[in-house]
């Protein structure tokens, strides 16, 4: 038991600080992905509820692709695809240099693609919950389409979409584990290194799992707070 405590302590003897760095990378990646995924998802939802069929179809194709591909494959497609693409471009331009794509950015792009296709469905069902009268009221007040969306529809939309988006955030947090495969030093990878060096795999992967659980618990606690905040204007029923 004491040995295990030494192993996970901070400092030279233990792996606590390495694991902490991994946790930091995991959280940073998830947080960095979130705004891109949310924005892209919102615009996809707008496209899906457009009155023009070609727009709807274009958005639906996007969703079909990124919801159907395994996240791991999307990650590889982005990581190697972008790398090879840039390499070809550089060769085409006549330079001879080796370019490596940052695994953090590749992970962020891949996760944002997947996240946005799920988020668009969450936003779309939230859009369906907002009656047409809300838009008409906005136009009657002389607000432009953009202002109506921003001042009237969006605040209500967030409230409706929050539960689904909260779930997606928890899924995103778990999916960040995949970037360890392309060499980003996240929680799983640091735990893996520690496990290999100390020959205590169960201890370190167990700790990694518990940290993910802890992150999920903190997130759901935070989500409850956010949900309560979003409903502060609602009358008690």
- The footprint of another protein (CB under 8 A) covers 47, 50-58, 61, 64-65, 67-73, 76-77, 80-81, 84, 170, 174-178, 180-181, 188, 191-192, 195, 199-203, 205-206, 208-209, 212-213, 216-217
The CB-of-101 to another protein minimum distance in angstroms stands at 13
The CB-of-105 to another protein minimum distance in angstroms stands at 18
Nearest to another protein of 80, 229 (CB atom) = 80
The CB-of-61 to another protein minimum distance in angstroms stands at 5
User: Could you tell me how far CA 108 lies from the centroid of its own chain?
Assistant: 8
Residues constituting the chain:
237
The CB-of-26 to another protein minimum distance in angstroms stands at 10
Nearest to another protein of 116, 176 (CB atom) = 176
Nearest to another protein of 159, 168 (CB atom) = 168
The CB-of-170 to another protein minimum distance in angstroms stands at 8
**Count of other CB atoms within 10 angstroms of residue 219:** 16
Nearest to another protein of 162, 215 (CB atom) = 215
The CB-of-234 to another protein minimum distance in angstroms stands at 26
Nearest to another protein of 87, 230 (CB atom) = 87
Nearest to another protein of 123, 212 (CB atom) = 212
Q: Residue 93 in contact with residue 158, Cβ under 8 Å?
A: no
Task: Tell me the DSSP string of the chain.
Answer: -HHHHHHTSSSSSSSHHHHHHHHHHHHHHHHHHHHHHHHHHHHHHHHHT-S-HHHHHHHHHHHHHHHHS-HHHHHHHHHHHHHHHHHHHHHHHT--------HHHHHHHHHHHHHHHHHHHHHHHHHHTS-HHHHHHHHHTT--HHHIIIIIIHHHHHHHHHHHHHHHHHHHHHHGGGGGGGT---HHHHHHHHHHHHT-HHHHHHHHHHHHHHHHHHHHHHHHHHHHHHTTTSPP-
The CB-of-60 to another protein minimum distance in angstroms stands at 10
Of 64, 154, 66, 59, the residue nearest 115 (C-alpha): 66
Nearest to another protein of 55, 158 (CB atom) = 55
């Amino acid at each position: 038991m004491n040995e295990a405590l030494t192993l996970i302590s901070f400092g030279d003897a233990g792996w606590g600080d390495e694991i902490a760095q991994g946790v930091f990378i995991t959280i940073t990646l998830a947080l960095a992905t979130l705004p891109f995924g949310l924005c892209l998802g919102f615009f996809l939802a707008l496209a899906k509820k457009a009155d023009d069929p070609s727009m709807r179809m274009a958005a639906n194709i996007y969703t079909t692709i990124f919801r159907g591909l395994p996240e791991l494959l999307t990650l590889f497609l982005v990581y190697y695809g972008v790398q090879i693409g840039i390499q070809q471009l550089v060769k085409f331009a006549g330079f001879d240099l080796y370019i490596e794509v940052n695994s953090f950015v590749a992970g962020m792009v891949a996760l944002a693609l997947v996240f946005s296709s799920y988020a668009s469905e969450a936003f779309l069902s939230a859009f369906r919950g907002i009656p047409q009268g809300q838009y008409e009221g906005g136009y009657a007040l002389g607000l432009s389409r953009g202002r109506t969306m921003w001042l009237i529809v969006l605040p209500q939309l967030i409230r409706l979409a929050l539960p689904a988006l909260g779930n997606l955030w928890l899924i995103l947090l778990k999916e960040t584990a995949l970037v360890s495969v392309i060499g980003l030093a996240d929680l799983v990878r640091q735990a893996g290194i520690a496990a290999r060096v100390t020959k205590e795999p169960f201890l370190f992967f167990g700790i990694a799992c518990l940290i993910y659980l802890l992150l999920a618990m903190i997130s759901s606690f935070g989500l409850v707070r956010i949900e309560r905040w979003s409903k502060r204007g609602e009358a008690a029923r």
